Amino acid sequence: MLNDPELLNSVTIDDEHLNGDYPLKPFATSLKNASAILNERFQAGRSANELIHARAAVIDYLLIKAWQFFIKNDSNCCLVAVGGYGRSELHPFSDIDIMIIVGNIKNIPKDSIGKFITFLWDLHLDIGHSVRTPAECATEAKKDITIATNVQESRLLVGKQNLFEKQKNYAHPIKFGIVKISLMQNGKNNNLDMQNLMIRLTTWNPT
């Protein structure tokens, strides 16, 4: 959530500016204003930790606002932040990794999601995205420890809470024994992922 008054004031987009089919200009202006403030703070010596969290909060606001413009409220899907962005950490020029979770692969609002993603690209945001059902999240997590940890570090931005909770439950590493086999994958390269994973396993509360 964007709690910084100066940044919030710089990015706030009033509903009256969301007219037409493709309100690129107000979003681009908001992003430019917020980036200028963050650059000024960097030049003034503000901490990197503060700035990367502030940038993530700015992007949260813009993505949620764009989602609400393009995706209908009754759509059975949700928008999730993953990776470093899921941890609310976003460096300048970093990829913004998102996942769109859908309830049924046959009922995806393809046109709306396509417009949403294209809109983010037109804002010159480096978006990395995937569209999956909760079951597909589990399938991919089972194949790759990195995906498993990304799922557990994900954040719901907007949309159906039940789908978000379902994918975290379905894709939890302990459900398919990934904890046992992960140490054998890629040798030492997985040490950090395993440390992060084991911390999260201790707080798992399946439903």
The answer to whether 97 and 45 have CB atoms below 8 angstroms apart is no
Tell me how long the chain is. 207
DSSP secondary structure, 112-162, as one string: HHHHHHHHHHHTT--EEEEEE-HHHHHHHHHH-HHHHHHHHT-EEEEE-HH
Q: For residue 193, how many other CB atoms are within 10 A of its CB?
A: 18
The answer to whether 97 and 128 have CB atoms below 8 angstroms apart is yes
Nearest-Å Rg of the Cα atoms of the chain is 18
* pLDDT tens digit at each of 207 positions of the chain: 899 999 999 999 998 888 788 999 999 999 999 999 999 999 999 999 999 999 999 999 999 999 999 998 889 999 999 989 999 999 988 999 999 999 988 888 999 999 999 999 999 999 999 999 999 988 888 888 777 777 778 999 999 999 999 988 887 666 655 444 444 444 544 555 555 544 444 444 544
Q: Where are the domains of the chain?
A: 5-201
Q: Provide the pLDDT for residue 173.
A: 61
The per-residue b/e assignment along 93-124, b for 16 or more CB within 10 angstroms, e otherwise, is ebebbbbbbbbeeeebbeebbebbbebbeebe
Which CATH number is 5-201 given? 1.10.357.170
User: pTM surpassing 0.75?
Assistant: yes
Encode pLDDT of 32-76 as tens digits: 999 999 999 999 999 999 999 999 999 999 999 999 999 988 899
